[in-house]
Structure 1
Amino acid sequence: MFPKVNDLVYIQVASASKKEAEKECKSRIADIEEESFLIEIPIESDTGKVKRLFIGDELSVYFLSDTGVKNYFNTYVLGFAEDVVQLVRIRKPEEDTISKIQRRNFLRVVAELELAVKLKDSTQFIAHTEDVGGGGVSFICDSKYVLNQGDLIYCWLLLPFKNGLIDHVPFEAEVVRTKSLESGRTTVMLKFVSISNLERQTLIRYCFERQFDFKNR
């Protein structure tokens, strides 16, 4: 079940700031296209201020059914359109992903990317990721590098886009879990502790580009 034109939608925007991520905004469906919704510029529910969105912003959205049940889906900003007022174009979700349960987890995709790692003792090495997402990454490294749950590390992730551009995303992360492999190497799972909103948006754009590639194979 999709929302209809003129239905209100309630939005939270993924952010490195917990305070910003918990803010709820409201908007309205202005038009429905084959693969997207056009919504009015969101307004913060508590302050009445306009919420500025950027291409690649990841959104947690819910709308109310005719019986008052909340229906949730995750989406992201595709772009903008001009009508009488400016509208925001967001990706229409697959209908079977709309749920009565809110899912706030960031998208993760399988990707083998180069990752420069710096440990707290200043040890530095190059590793390769297993997957990446807006909330963290996992990578494989030589077991000689000792990493423990709770360790903070600094990383620089290389993102190659299809248009030929290459971005470098710096971040600080916490080790969530490690797993020893039969090969003698170690898988390390990280969650972001400090990453700028701009860098997170860049990473999320890469994830959606990568996901689109998988869907079209």
Structure 2
Amino acid sequence: MGGWRNLFPKVNDFVYIQVASVDKNEVNKECKSRIADIEEESFLIEVPMDMKSGQSKRLFLGDELSVYFLTEGGIKHYFNTYVLGFADDVVKLIRIRKPEPESITKIQRRDFLRVVAELEIAVKLKDNTRFLAYTDDVGGGGVSYLTDENYNLSEGDTLECWLLVPYKTGTIEHVPFEAEVVRSKKLESGRWITMLKYLSISDFERQKLIRYCFERQFDFKNR
């Protein structure tokens, strides 16, 4: 294990972060942060700063992150993680999950915690049109759903949504959120796929989705 331990970034090391989003502009923004403290199952990092604008980047509970740090010789080591919570020291710190050592790679993996899932979603448009659809995938940053018509949706439209989330325990949760349309396109099948990013979702509700995604990911791995 000693060799693995050396692979983790150390206190005061810089880490470079991209936040998962269905919005391509957001995904490509790189932020810089620093490891402030290391706990048994998490890292505490400083509030990240956007590398181009120098502005601080606000992170939310459940945000998924692609992180890399540099080891001797300037080699990048990547891992995917998510925001577990926050801590107040002299400055505000963000707690992110420590990755499994074997998941740290020299190649950036784009498979953020987004799982293929057919969940029932209720959608309400600005003009009060309501319809039910089924998701194509679900993640910590947004969802995609399939419908037979487009409902005249265009990029930037805001929707009110309720997602039905079933867990392995048999319980079913309703997760309400407000979302923005990132893209809506017609598939070869004639159906429409609409990609949404969360605009307004409570930390509590987002955690429900993250939990569901982890359950699903675990299922896929164990098949």
TM-score by length of 2: 0.67
Specify the SS of the correspondent of 1:207.
helix
Contact 1:159/1:206, CA 8 A, preserved across alignment: no
Of 160, 163, 175 in structure 2, the residue corresponding to residue 159 of structure 1 is 163
CA contact (8 A) 2:22 2:182 kept: no
User: 2 CA distance for matches of 1:24 and 1:92?
Assistant: 20
Residue equivalent to 1:60: 66
1:53 alignment partner, SS class: coil
Between 1:196-205 and 1:100-109, the stretch displaced more is 196-205
Count of aligned pairs between the two proteins: 201
1:84 aligns with 2:93: no
Match of residue 98, structure 1, among 95, 104, 109? 104
Pairwise CA distance, 1:42: 1.6
Shift of 1:160: 4.8
Alpha-carbon distance, 1:211 to partner: 3.0
Q: Deviations over 1:6-28 (max 9, x none)?
A: 21101122346544433322111
1:102 to partner: Cα distance:
1.9
Matches within 5 A, 1:110-121: 110-116=116-122
Tell me the C-alpha RMSD between the 2 structures. Answer: 3.9
Deviation per CA, 1:97-140, whole angstroms, max 9, x where unpaired? 22222234442224442224699xxx97423335322354254x
Q: Does 1:46 align with 2:52?
A: yes
- Deviation string 1:64-122 (CA, Å, 9 cap, x unpaired) is 11221111122221111122322110111222322222234442224442224699xxx
- Identity in percent: 50
Q: Confirm or deny: 8 A CA contact 2:29 2:50 kept in the other structure.
A: yes
CA contact (8 A) 1:109 1:210 kept: no
Mapped partners of 2:110, 2:149: distance in 1 = 31
Structure 2 Cα separation of the partners of residues 95 and 188 of structure 1: 40
Which 5+ residue runs of structure 2 have no aligned equivalent?
A: 1-6, 166-170
- Specify the SS of the correspondent of 2:200: helix
Query: 1:88 & 1:108 partners in 2: Cα distance?
Result: 22
The answer as to whether partners of 2:176 and 2:205 remain within 8 angstroms in 1 is no
The one-letter code of the counterpart of 1:73 is F
**Residue aligning to 2:144:** 137
Task: Verify: 1:23 aligned to 2:32, yes or no.
Answer: no
The residue type paired with residue 94 of structure 1 is: E
1:207: which partner in 2? 209
